[in-house]
Amino acid sequence: MAESAKGSGADLKRYSRIRGNSALLFIAVVYTLYFASSLLIPTVIALLIALQLSPLVTFLQRFYLPRSVSAALLLVAIGGPFTFLGMQLVEPTQKWIERVPEVTAKVNQQLTKVAEVLAPAEQEIPVIVPASQPPQKKTGIRSLFGWFDEETVDPVPPPPPAAAVAPEPNTAVADQLVIGGLELAMKVMAEAPVFLAQCLVCIILVVFLLVYGPGIYRTAIEVLPWFQDKAAAAQLVTDTQRELSFYMLYISVINAGLGLATATVLWLLDFEDPLLWGSMVALLNFAPYVGSIFSFLVLCIAGVEQYGLVWEALLPALAFFILNSIESQLVTPAVLGRNMRMNPLVIMLWLMLWGWLWGMAGVLIAVPLMVCIKLILSRTASFDSWLKLIESRD
């Protein structure tokens, strides 16, 4: 009896120690991800791109094409159209960044007019003007002894009503919005060189991962003692590469179609810079829910800036809402099927976590990371409970 109690106590202590170590490990990982974001962001993006392109490089290697040559050809084939598109979007993007303070002030002015119309009119305080009084007789000792004839004393005229002073408009909110828009524009322009440097580092890492990555992970599987079943570990990497490549291909085609459809509708509505907004929609759609909401709000603001505060200003945003609803409810579930069967609450929490850690870059790569984790968990029996949690539905 005593031995069993002693054994249960030891098990409890060991379980508590494991939980404490796991909590410390989680805090250390989050701390590292947050403070090393400038180094880890291009590395993680390069890993995701290399995982997608590695099956193609391996396929081209069967035709006696060296991995370095095939990697360079794939990057040129994929990066060429994006580079051309980026060159076309440089001018309108710079124009809209410079117009952020102006657009902010204009939208605030329109909202101020609406607030003035909807606000109840201030009641005017009536000014009581005393009626003309009859002449007053002279009083006092002089009238008592009748030294003078009866004189009248004119009443003191009432003071004229004070002129109505129009209240000065409160421009504090408008000034803050303009300052905030100017700070946002300056921040975007200041971070542009860092972004370009990270893109260059990412491209270099992709080339090296495609050329030397397979040899490294094959050696790691053979040498490291963590992998008990060498064949299963190699097959896991191969399956993850293949399924992630198909997922990213499908989701990229779907997002590009949504962006193209949005740009076409905006062009038909004679909206300014439709290609820019279509590209924005396609890029932000990699982040479910959050990207759609942000695109809708941006199109609402851009519509108010172009058309004014009229109902036509909502047409671009409504058109995007209809197209996005068709894509999210019909096209994406039909094409991806089980790969996108994830709980919306889990996705939102995951997006919030990576958005807090790495900003917009974290939001955009959060779902591909979730897909990689889901693929790994689906082939590992010990984490079946976590997979059920991610895929849980009503």
Q: Is 368 exposed, middle or buried (0-12, 13-18, 19+ CB in 10 A)?
A: buried
Q: Is 132 left (phi over 0), alpha (psi -120 to 50) or beta?
A: beta
d(CA 365, CA 13): 39
pLDDT reported for residue 11: 62
Q: Under a CB-based contact definition with an 8 Å cutoff, are residues 13 and 5 in contact?
A: no
What is the pLDDT confidence band of residue 10, given thresholds at 50, 70 and 90?
low
> Does 394 score more than 80 pLDDT?
no
Instruction: Round to whole Å and give the CA distance between 241 and 235.
Output: 10
Show Cβ contacts of residue 202 under 8 Å, excluding neighbours closer than 6 positions: 42, 45, 46, 49
Classify 341 in phi/psi space as left (phi over 0), alpha (psi -120 to 50) or beta: beta
Measured distance CA(101)–CA(175) in Å, rounded: 10
Residues 6+ apart with CB under 8 A from 271: 277, 302, 303, 306, 316
Q: Where are the alpha helices (H) located in the chain, listed in sequence order? A: 2-35, 37-61, 67-98, 100-118, 141-145, 172-223, 230-268, 274-284, 290-307, 315-326, 332-336, 344-378, 384-391
Gap between the Cα atoms of 112 and 106, Å rounded: 10
Q: Are 210 and 53 in contact (CB under 8 A)?
A: yes
pTM of the complete model: 0.69
For residue range 319-354, list pLDDT tens digits in order: 999 999 998 888 887 777 655 677 888 888 888 889
The torsion angles phi and psi of 159, rounded to 5 degrees, stand at: -65, 140
Mean pLDDT, range 292-321, rounded to an integer: 87
pLDDT tens sequence across 95-144: 887 777 777 666 666 667 666 666 654 444 454 555 555 555 444 444 44
Cα dihedral 225, 227, 231, 237 sign: negative
pLDDT digits (tens, 9 = 90+) for 215-268: 887 787 777 766 667 777 777 777 777 888 888 888 889 999 999 999 999 999
Confidence of residue 282 (pLDDT cuts 50, 70, 90): very high
In whole angstroms, give the CA distance from residue 132 to residue 158.
9
The CA-based angle 385-373-358, given to 5 degrees, is 125
